[in-house]
Structure 1
Amino acid sequence: MTPTGAQAQMSTEEFEELARNAPELVRLEFIQGRVQVKPVPDGNHQTIVMWLLKQCMQQRPDLELYAEQGLKVEAYRNGRARADAVLVPEEHLVGRGDWINPTGVLMAVEVTSHDRDTDARDRVEKPEGYAQAGIPVYLLIDRESLSVVVHAEPEGGRYRAITTRPFGAVIALPEPVKITLETEKLKEYAN
């Protein structure tokens, strides 16, 4: 983690240009003033996002779940995070660019990858960045710990409410999402 007050590697504009021209096999983020390479998702990772998409469509057809959406997490050192998915009101992304303002994003979703940076990225840096951006719900589907973690009630740059349930449990996502996830199927996708 870059210490507070440390010099950023580049400007946000330089990062956006770099990310725009990066090869398709590389997904870049700009977190805490550092360029980070996010692993390309494996088949199980993508299957989990699709499973969640189906849950959202069935229960909340008024909302849309978009995979691989870039978010401006400005309070987080002018950062840019590429969420595995974001849940937004219908047509919310019309006319927006690659990196959207998080206003109106109801939920950010991350699915852990099997790499050495997942702990810092998905369990520490992302919840801080999403809370600071005011995103009401952060859903972490943790394939390593076989659990679903719901972060809610962002206040003062942190989520005040954190609920963890093992794969197989039923978990209700709070307002404004209001979706209930039956997570038994995630046991099959953990690897």
Structure 2
Amino acid sequence: MTAMAHEPMPTQEELLLESFLALETPEGFKAELIEGEIVVSPTPVGDHQDAIDIITEQMYANSAVRMQQSANSGLVLPRGGRCPKNHIIPDITFAPRELRIFRSAPPWMPCNDIAMVVEVTSSRADIDRITKRHCYARAGIPLYLLVDRECETVTLFSEPAGEDYGDAHRTAFGKPLPLPAPFSFDLETSELS
């Protein structure tokens, strides 16, 4: 008698990733897979979008290196444990223009060559303050800029090391925040308040 070959049963993590990738998100929402949880949130509007615009304008006008940005690029980031990789859509992703990493990028792209990601807090602020910060650090993204609307602060996290960033510079809305290379200018935050 011959034993029949069976396909291995997918793991819970594989099923979660498969379900996430097949998800049809309603118009006006975005879905992310963050630390094993599917998070669905509305796309930015109002003050949230205004903060994104303020930062983007300054990056284009003042950066020492020409930048390109995307507000729609999903990033595939490493995850600890056996869970599937994180699939996160930052509010803004910046990369040097000369690299043109967003050109022909797949919907979920690797995080290579990204100079900085930006998050503006919304209704689930701890995801931006803690969870995404750890995801970005683990991926080795050099700079993470957090605009915390509730605390009225802007924080630049740098020097990714394992699960977190080794350095953080925080300033209150209204005070400039120095950005290192490749940006090399002081981010004005007065319009964020």
Q: Could you say whether these structures have the same fold, taking a TM-score greater than 0.5 normalized by the shorter chain as the test? A: yes
Matched AA of 1:14? S
SS of match in other structure, 2:73: strand
Contact between 2:35 and 2:79, CA under 8 Å: does it hold in 1?
no
Residue 3 of structure 1: aligned partner: none
Aligned length: 176
Residues 184, 148 of structure 1: alpha-carbon distance in 2 compared, 3 angstrom cutoff: same
1:48 to 47, 51, 63: 51
Aligned to 1:154: 160
Distance 1:164 1:102 in 2: 25
The separation in 1 between residues aligned to 2:157 and 2:184, in whole angstroms, is 14
Query: Unaligned regions of 5+ residues in structure 1, if any?
Result: 1-6
Aligned residue among 75, 78, 82 for 2:79: 75
Matched, 1:16 2:21: yes
Q: TM-score, normalised by structure 1?
A: 0.85
Runs ≥4 in structure 1, deviation > 6 angstroms? none
Equivalent position amino acid for 1:84 in 2: D
Between 57-66 and 126-135, report the one with greater CA deviation.
57-66
In the alignment, structure 2 segments of 5+ residues that lack a partner are 1-11
Deviation at 1:92, TM superposition (A): 1.6
Structure-2 change in CA distance of 1:28 and 1:186 (3 Å) = same
SS in 1 for 2:40: strand
Identity over the aligned pairs, expressed in percent? 33
TM-score using structure 2 length: 0.85
* Residue 157 of structure 1: how far off its partner (Å): 2.3
Rg comparison, structure with higher value: 2
Q: What is the root-mean-square deviation of aligned Cα atoms in Å?
A: 1.7
SS at match of 1:68: coil
**Rounded Cα–Cα distance in structure 1 between residues aligned with 2:69 and 2:133:** 19
Q: How does 1:102-141 map to 2 (within 5 A)?
A: 102-113=111-122, 115=123, 117-119=124-126, 121-141=127-147
